[in-house]
Structure 1
Amino acid sequence: MPAAPDFPPAPDRVTPRRALISLSDKTGLEATARALHGAGVELVSTGGTRAAIAAFGLPVKDVADLTGFPEMMDGRVKTLHPVVHGGLLGVRDAAEHKAAMDAHGIGPIDIVWIDLYPFEKTVESGGGFEAAIENIDIGGPAMIRSGAKNHGYVAVAVDADAIGLVLEALQADGATSLELRKRLAARAFARTAAYDAAVSGWFAGQVDDAAPVRKSIGGTLAQTLRYGENPHQTGAFYRTGERRPGVAHAEQVQGKELGYNNIADADAAYELVAEFERPACVIVKHANPCGVAVGGDLSEAYARALECDPVSAFGGVIAVNRPLGEADARAITEIFTEVVIAPGADEAARAVFAAKKNLRLLITDGLPDPHAPGEVFRSVAGGFLVQSRDVARITPADLKIVTKRRPTPAEIEDMLFAFTVAKHVKSNAIVYARDGQTAGIGAGQMNRRDSARIAAIRAREAGEAKGLGRSLAEGSACASEAFFPFADGLLEAVAAGATSVIQPGGSIRDEEVIAAADEKGVAMAFTGVRVFRH
């Protein structure tokens, strides 16, 4: 490990005399270049950025004029030169560094503004392997890291906000402060880290390495949250490079700022509602669905979802899989709702929601694909877990009927609906459903029997609230996201009114559970697929 050199303290104020600019996205370039020139800063640039600055009528020096070497190898080599990196890394107040700079004609570079090659956008847009490779920036990250390491003298900007801070400092004081340069350096290292994470993650996928030796996660701050899950916790929301439709890329049309729990619940609701082809509505409370239904239109789907558990729905998050109309908005706003997320809303619907100032309305550019691969992360002390997204979807052909009585076509449809919902309920999960509507949901219990009992209570209360004089679970399908380890959970489901059961199977007591189902005349199917959610 190199010993720390005995450098003089970095100055608080640095008056910049030279800036190196290299941009892929030239938005804002003219105004910034003019401001820097007006502050007496010499402009140095490369390729298209240099040509753009010259076209503005501003003096600009080509990097090749500094290095004495032309840009070569299709632009792969242009800034990787001692004159450039010496100008960035040289400690101006260190005698040995200053002597080296003078001896080799290396002039200091005080500002670096670099927008890296658009690797992430290239991959996102479906660019092929070679296109992605050519959009891996080499010189840019090297200059950013050099300037950031030497933040005692160099101000590094990696985005429009950062160069804006530099301009503000120059306009106010004609110099950059050490505090600003440190903050910019931290931002710069984060940018190169996220960029490298995107490249390494993509490359691992290209060689089918599901568990690379080193794994990095990169994100861009989308929002600083008022707090985390609780007021005593801090919180922030970051976007990754994944362009999956959902809360991360939604437009917030109205309402209060989203909180940590709002974002988590909106994501859970939207991922579930995307599973259905018919008009569907999902109501989520504290990460679990409390009502799910399909219908002829969204208003019907919402009314049926609300019937499952109107008590829990109060203050919940609602997701739908169709654009919202006025009638849908009027129905939804009859009770207090925290967040509504949808793939669209017409002007009439927006006007209705606007009357509820605190309701957050999120509009997305589509629905997430339930079959699209992806990764899910979870932190643990000293590390994090990574797994592939659960893209399991069971069809009638996947079912193994294990009981003497075979389920009817309607029961099969109910079983598949219930199992789809169970996939999105915290384990242990039991879901009763009938006719495209959840009847009762039992979530997050330490044993499956209790989940079945809680779901039965919800179904009974829902039936009473509807004035039926019976439980909504009567004639329902019961879904369990994992196998029944004993027959007791199944018997609770039968007692609740279920006539068919869907579960993964695979318990050492499967035969005992099957025998109990046969004794009660219940049809049961095994999926062979477990859908735990912790």
Structure 2
Amino acid sequence: MKRALISVSDKTGIVDFAKALQEADFEIVSTGGTKRALEEAGVQVVGISEVTNFPEILDGRVKTLHPAIHGGLLANREKEAHREALHEHSIAPIDLVVVNLYPFKETIKKKGVEDADAIENIDIGGPAMLRAAAKNHAHVAVVTDPGDYSQVLEEARGNGLRFDTRRHLAAKAFRHTAAYDALVADYMTDEVFPETLTLTYEKKQALRYGENPHQGASFYQHPLPAVTSLAAAEQLHGKELSYNNINDSNAAFALVSEFSDTKAAVAVKHTNPCGVGIGDTLPRAFEEAYAADPVSIFGGIVAVNDRVDADTAEQLANIFLEVVIAPDYSRNALDILQKKKNIRLLKVDMGGDRNVPHALTSVSGGMLVQEDDVKGLADTDVKVATKRAPTSEEWRRLEFAWRVVKHVKSNAIVLTKGNRTIGVGAGQMNRVGAAEITIAQAQSDAEGSMLASDAFFPMKDTMEVAVKAGVTAVIQPGGSKRDQESIDVADDAGITMVFTGMRHFRHA
């Protein structure tokens, strides 16, 4: 008779699976709550203590860590010495291990979880059994996922599990324990940049392709994604999201999250904002964002920070958009937008902490890791660099421009006027070039506008371009050896300029 050891916290389908195994001539060995559940369902079960001849101790912390279990799991049945050792010590081989681990993730998700409760839900015996069985997959099958029960049963009823199936299940078991340990390590780690970075992500969905059709891709999420995150978004309507949709949506979501004090609408193309607007109402904010660049918004991503009402929905429905992101939608708004078959509608909680401890960028053979750029003007000492200080209205407009330029690829220059952007110069090789592109986009609207730069002006040429265009106020980090040259140009033109002391390079 073959022997199966079953000990699961996720008991989905386990009773039917165990009954089918028993019918396929497996003896069932089990522990604790799994044993009780199987016995109550009429499955004949051998208790773990009957196998080890040793009681479960320490509140169940020690029950399977025993040679009678691990000998049965690790024995190489092709080696005579191993077979003799099993016979000498009366150890029966174990052919199938069905284990999933203590619910550590579910425990630490609970609001206000106590550390002692989290620690108690760190599984020890389960990972040891999984790793032992997976190592010895030449002779032992290991199952961690209820989704694999049917295939295992089909092969078990035949000639036994094929080697490639056992190999696949073993790899899955090692991924299961690795992800589990990574989550435990993350929970217990206080360092921002530890000596090893153990990350784990769960596959959320397969994607048709990546940035281009010849690239494969999938979307993975953190096991505990922040409620206020794109990974936690609910798709209410539309086609499946693509790689570029997700990437652009994340950029739009990050930018609109900057505005908690006013209604805001953000339009994004290729991860750069093409139009940003604010207003007393959401329809007004979207009107401003649309007017900022009515050409580039076509086929773009729009994110708003308030419930979409019917008026806003009518505006959104009048143009071709790939994705709309909002904290909620009225019933009338959904009725309007869902008439457009392909538009993706995402609902994202925007009321909480985005909680992005690490920003990750892959490089050849490695990964760059940094803290997320969540700081703003409140986190630095802003200084007036020129003779003229900004008016209260200019201060408000400059802060708006600074929030936007933070989310534009460097070198970045942004022009704003009133409640919207009027020009965005992104990803240029030199700063004056970014300024010239921005001003060309704004055209005559540049007169009386605010200019924001993500980094300092290395020379006075950017300031000279701004003066010629009619810019009246500038916000930039400062810190160049030649700052005084730019200050002099501003003073001569009566322009006010403030230094933030903080730059916002964005290269990825």
* Pair 1:353 & 2:298 matched: no
Shift of 1:271: 1.3
Amino acid at match of 1:185: A
Alpha-carbon offset, residue 396 of structure 1: 9.7
Q: Against the structure 1 CA distance between its residues 156 and 436, is the aligned structure 2 distance closer, same or farther, given a 3 Å change threshold?
A: farther
Shift of 1:317: 1.1
Task: Please name the residue that 1:34 is paired with.
Answer: 19
Find the aligned partners of 2:350 and 2:21 in 1 and give their Cα distance. 42
Question: Is residue 518 of structure 1 aligned with residue 500 of structure 2?
Answer: no
Of 75, 79, 97, the residue aligned with 2:64 is 79
Q: 1:276 corresponds to which residue?
A: 259
CA-CA distance at 1:212 after TM superposition:
1.6
Of 258, 261, 265, the residue aligned with 2:244 is 261
Amino acid at match of 1:214: T
Q: Residue 123 of structure 1: CA displacement?
A: 2.9
- Residue 425 of structure 1 corresponds to 408
Task: Report the secondary structure of 2:439's partner residue.
Answer: helix
Q: Which sections of structure 2, spanning at least 5 residues, go unmatched?
A: none
Q: Which runs of 5+ in 1 are unaligned?
A: 1-15, 461-469
Following superposition, the deviation at residue 367 of structure 1 comes to 4.8
* 1:24-43 superposed Cα distances (whole Å, 9 cap, x missing partner): 23333333333333433332
Match of 1:415 among 398, 413, 426: 398
Number of the residue aligned with 2:212: 230
Q: What letter is aligned with 1:100?
A: A
**1:186 and 1:501, CA in 2 relative to 1: closer, same or farther beyond 3 A?**
same
Residues 124 and 243 in structure 1, CA contact (< 8 A), matched pair in contact too: no
Write the letter of the residue equivalent to 1:31.
D
Q: Does 1:530 align with 2:503?
A: yes
Residue 419 of structure 1, CA deviation: 0.8
Match among 117, 122, 143 for residue 131 of structure 1? 117
Name 2:221's counterpart in structure 1.
Answer: 239
Alignment of 1:33-182 (within 5 A): 33-125=18-110, 126-170=112-156, 173=158, 175-182=160-167
Matches within 5 A, 1:431-446: 431-446=414-429
- Kindly, what percent of the aligned residue pairs are identical? 49
Q: Does 1:312 align with 2:296?
A: yes
By how many angstroms is 1:455 displaced?
A: 1.5
Asked if the contact 1:115–1:159 (Cα under 8 Å) also holds between the matched residues in 2, the reply is: yes
Residues 335-374 of structure 1: matches in 2 within 5 Å?
A: 335-367=319-351, 369=353, 372=355, 374=357
Return the TM-score normalized by structure 1.
0.89
2:458 is paired with a residue whose SS is coil
Report the Cα offset of residue 354 of structure 1: 2.3
Contact 1:39 1:174 in 2 (8 A): no
Question: In structure 1, how many angstroms separate the alpha carbons of the residues matched to 2:95 and 2:286?
Answer: 59
Q: CA deviation at 1:315?
A: 1.0
**Alignment partner, residue 464 of structure 2:** 491
- Quickly say closer, same or farther: Cα 1:31–1:296, change in 2 above 3 A: farther
Change (3 A) 1:529 1:404: same
How far 1:368 moved relative to its partner? 5.6
The residue type paired with residue 406 of structure 1 is A
Paired with 1:328 and 1:39, the residues of 2 have a C-alpha distance of: 62
Q: Identify the match of residue 401 of structure 1 among 384, 389, 397.
A: 384
- CA contact under 8 A between 2:380 and 2:501: conserved in structure 1? no
Provide the residue aligned with 2:283 in structure 1: 299
Separation in 2, partners of 1:517, 1:105: 90
- 1:43, 1:30 → 2: CA distance? 11
Cα separation, 2, equivalents of 1:44 and 1:103:
21
Partner SS state of residue 310, structure 1: coil
Could you give the per-residue CA deviations for residues 118-137 of structure 1, whole angstroms, max 9, x where no partner exists?
22333333423333322222
- Could you report, residue by residue, the CA deviation over 1:241-294 in whole angstroms, capped at 9, with x for unpaired residues? 342223212222222222211111111111111111222111111111111112
What is the distance in 2 between the residues matched to 1:159 and 1:131? 25
> Which residue of structure 1 aligns with residue 173 of structure 2?
188
CA distance in 1, matches of 2:471, 2:106: 50
Aligned equivalents of 1:175 and 1:342: distance in 2? 52
- Provide the rounded CA distance (Å) in 1 between the counterparts of 2:470 and 2:104: 56
How high is the TM-score relative to the length of structure 2? 0.93
**How far apart, in 2, do the equivalents of 1:202 and 1:409 lie?**
45
Separation (CA, whole Å) in 2 of partners of 1:353 and 1:30: 45
SS across alignment from 1:44 = strand
SS in structure 2 at match of 1:313 = coil
Match of 2:272 among 288, 307, 312: 288
Deviations 1:143-191 (A, max 9, x none): 11111111222222222323344245446x4632222211111111112
The structure-2 alpha-carbon separation of the partners of 1:435 and 1:30, relative to structure 1 and needing over 3 Å to count, comes to farther
Q: Which amino acid aligns with 1:149?
A: K
> What is the identity, as a one-letter code, of the residue corresponding to 1:82?
P
Q: State the Cα distance separating 1:508 from its structure 2 match.
A: 0.8
Partner SS for 1:100: helix
Q: Tell me: CA distance 1:492–1:36, structure 2 relative to 1, closer, same or farther (3 Å).
A: farther
CA contact (8 A) 2:380 2:500 kept: no
Moved more, 446-455 or 115-124: 115-124
Q: Structure 2: how far apart are the matches of 1:64 and 1:436? A: 72
Match of 2:397, as an amino acid? D
